[in-house]
Amino acid sequence: MIGNDPLSVGSLLRRYGSRVFITWVMLVLEVALLALIPLFIGQTIDALLQEPSLAALTEISLLFLALIAVAVARRAYDTRAYGTMRIHLCMALVERSEHKTVSTLNAQVDMGRELVDFLEEHTPLVISSVIQVIVSIVVLFSFGMTMGVAGIVAVAAMLLLYAVFHFRFFKLNATLNSISEGQVGAIESGNLNVISNLFTQRRESEVKLSDADSIMYGLVYLVMFGLILANLWTASFLPAVTVGAIFAIISYSWELVGASVELPAALQQWTRLTEIQERINQ
C-alpha cells in the first residue's frame, strides 16, 4: 500500500519499484531489438542483392522472433502489475477524502489513475523514444558527420518547442481539471442551464488544448521533415553508397521523426500530471 506518502509518480516508483523495474528491463530489451530492425533490413537487402538465399534471412528472422517473445511477455506482465497499483492509489485517495465532495472525489479518482497510466503507457514511450533517438543519431553519425549533427539539431529544436508550450499546457489542464471536479455536482443539481454551461466550458477548454497541441505538432513535423530532406540530399553525395545504406539512412531518419513526435506527447502528459499531483495532494 502507499501509506502516508504524497500521491505522486515518485511515491508509486518508491513503493512499487521492483515491479516497475521488471517491466522497464523488458521494455528496454524490446526497444533495443526494435531499433536494430532497420539496420538488419538494410544488411539483408544488400546480402540478397549479392546472392539470393534463405540463409540471408536467418539473422533478421531470429531478431523478429525475439522481439515478438519479449513484447508479448511485457504486455502480459504490465496489465497485472499496474492494475494492482491503480487499486492501491484509488483506495488511498478515498481514505484521504474526508472533506471532499463526491463530485470532487470522483474526478480526482479518475485523475489519480492517470498517474499509473503515465507509468504504464507514457513512460515506455519516453524510454523507447530516448533509445530510438540515441540509436538513430549514432547510426546517422556512422554514415556521415553532417547527418548526425542534423539529427541532434532537430531534436534540440523539438525540445525547445515543447518548452515554449509548457506553461500554456499546464494552465489549460488546470482549467479542464477544475471543470471535471464540478461535473458530478452540476449533474446532481438537475439545472439544465448549469449543466449546459459546464459542458460548454469543458468543450472550450478541450478546443484550446487541442489547438495548442496541433500547433506544436505542426512545428515539430516541419523540423523533422526538414531533417529527412536534408539527409536524403546528403546521402546522395556519399561515395559508393549502397541501396541498403540508403534504406538504413532514411529508416533511421524516420525513426528519429517518430521518436521526436512521441516525446512531446509524453512531456505534455507530464505537464498535466504535475497539475494533477498538486491538486489531489491539497
From its phi and psi, is residue 190 left (phi > 0), alpha (psi between -120 and 50) or beta? left
In a domain, 1, yes or no: no
Residue found under cell 502528459: 269
pLDDT of residue 48: 78
Domain assignment present for residue 205? The answer is yes
Give the per-residue pLDDT at 2: 63
Domain membership of residue 4 (yes or no) is: no
Q: How far apart are CA 190 and CA 14, in angstroms?
A: 43
The domain containing residue 236 runs over which residues? 9-280
Domain of 260, CATH number, reads: 1.20.1560.10
Separation of alpha carbons 216 and 164, rounded Å = 9
- Alpha-carbon gap, residue 66 to 55, rounded angstroms: 18
Q: How many CB atoms lie within 10 A of CB 164?
A: 11
Q: How many domains does the chain have?
A: 1
Q: Is residue 2 part of a domain?
A: no
Residue 99 belongs to some domain of the structure: yes
Residue 197 belongs to some domain of the structure: yes
Asked if residue 3 belongs to a domain, the reply is no
How confident is the model at residue 12, as a pLDDT? Answer: 82
Q: Does 268 fall in a domain? A: yes
What is residue 274's predicted lDDT score, i.e. its pLDDT? 80
Q: What is the pLDDT along the chain (282 residues), one digit of tens a residue?
A: 566 777 777 788 888 888 888 988 888 888 888 878 877 887 787 777 777 777 777 888 888 888 889 888 988 888 888 888 888 887 877 777 777 777 777 777 777 787 888 888 778 878 877 887 888 888 888 888 888 888 888 888 888 888 888 888 888 888 888 887 777 777 777 788 888 888 888 888 888 888 888 888 788 888 888 888 888 888 777 777 777 777 778 877 877 777 777 777 777 777 777 888 877 777
